[in-house]
Amino acid sequence: MLRLNEVQLPLDHPEDALHAAILGRLGIAAEEMLGYTIFRRSYDARKKSAVILTYSVDVELKDEDAVLKRLARDRTVAPTPDTNYRFVAQAPSQLKSRPVVIGTGPCGLFAGLILAQMGFNPIILERGKAVRERTKDTWGLWRKRELQPESNVQFGEGGAGTFSDGKLWTQIKDPKHYGRKVLTEFVKADAPDEIMYVSKPHIGTFRLVKMVEQMRASIEALGGEFRFQQKVEDIDIEWKNDSGQVRAVVLAGGETIVTDHVVLAIGHSARDTFQMLYDRGVYIEAKPFSLGFRIEHPQSLIDKCRFGPSAGHPILGAADYKLVHHCENGRAVYSFCMCPGGTVVAATSEPGRVVTNGMSQYSRNERNANSGIVVGITPADYPGHPLAGIDFQRQWESRAFELGGGTYDAPGQLVGDFIAGRPSTALGSVTPSYKPGVLLGDLSTALPDYAIAAIREALPAFDKQIRGFAMTDAVLTGVETRTSSPVRIKRHDDSLQSLNTTGLFPAGEGAGYAGGIMSAAIDGIRVAEAVALSMLAKN
Ligand code: FAD
- Cα(267) to ligand 1 centroid in Å equals 5
Q: Are 439 and 405 in contact (CB under 8 A)?
A: yes
Residue 214: pLDDT over 90: yes
Residue to probe by mutation, ligand 1, list 337, 435, 525, most atoms within 8 Å of CB: 337
* 100-284+487-538: CATH topology: FAD/NAD(P)-binding domain (3.50.50)
From residue 293, alpha-carbon distances to 91, 189, 425, 480, 482 in Å are 47, 34, 18, 5, 11
Using DSSP, state whether 524 is helix, strand or coil: helix
Tens digit of each residue's pLDDT (9 = 90 or more) over 363-408: 888 999 999 999 999 999 999 999 999 999 999 999 999 999 999 9
- Give pLDDT tens digits for 444-477: 999 999 999 999 999 999 999 999 999 999 999 9
Region 2-79: CATH code:
3.30.70.2700
pLDDT at 431 over 90: yes
Report the greatest alpha carbon distance in the chain: 72
ipTM over 0.95: yes
Q: Whose CA is nearest to atom 41 of ligand 1?
A: 516
> What average pLDDT does this structure show over 248-262?
97
| CATH 3.50.50.60 domain position(s) in the chain | 100-284+487-538
Pair 111, 527: CB distance under 8 Å: yes
Q: Please, where in the chain does CATH 3.30.70.2700 lie?
A: 2-79
Whether residue 539 is predicted with pLDDT greater than 80 in this model: the reply is no
User: 362 CA distance to ligand 1 centroid (A)?
Assistant: 19
Rounded-to-5 percentages of helix, strand, coil across the chain: 30, 25, 45
CA–centroid distance, 45 to ligand 1, in Å, is 32
Q: Dump pLDDT digits (tens) for 291-307.
A: 999 999 999 999 999 99
| Sheet (strand 100-102) strand order | 225-227, 123-125, 100-102, 262-264, 504-506
| Per-residue model confidence as pLDDT tens digits over 71-99 | 999 999 999 999 999 999 999 988 889 99
Q: What value does the mean pLDDT of the chain take?
A: 96
Give the pLDDT band (50/70/90) at residue 149.
very high
Check residue 362 and give its pLDDT: 81
Q: Residue 408 has what pLDDT?
A: 98
- In this prediction, residue 358 carries a pLDDT of 95
DSSP lists the bridge partners of residue 371 as: 295
DSSP string, 222-255: TT-EEESS--EEEEEEEEETTEEEEEEEEETTS-
> Of ligand 1's atoms, which has the minimum distance to the CA of residue 233?
18
Number of C-beta neighbours around residue 260 at 10 A? 19
Q: Given this model, what pLDDT does residue 326 score?
A: 98
Ligand 1 cavity residues, CB under 6 Å = 102-108, 125-128, 153, 155-156, 159-161, 163-167, 231-232, 265-267, 270, 273, 337, 345, 347, 357-359, 508-510, 514-518, 520
The proportion of the chain whose per-residue pLDDT surpasses 90, expressed as a percent, equals 93
Which ranges in 383-513 belong to alpha helices (H)? 388-403, 415-420, 449-465
DSSP-derived secondary structure letter, 458: H
Ligand 1: nearest atom to the Cα of 357: 34
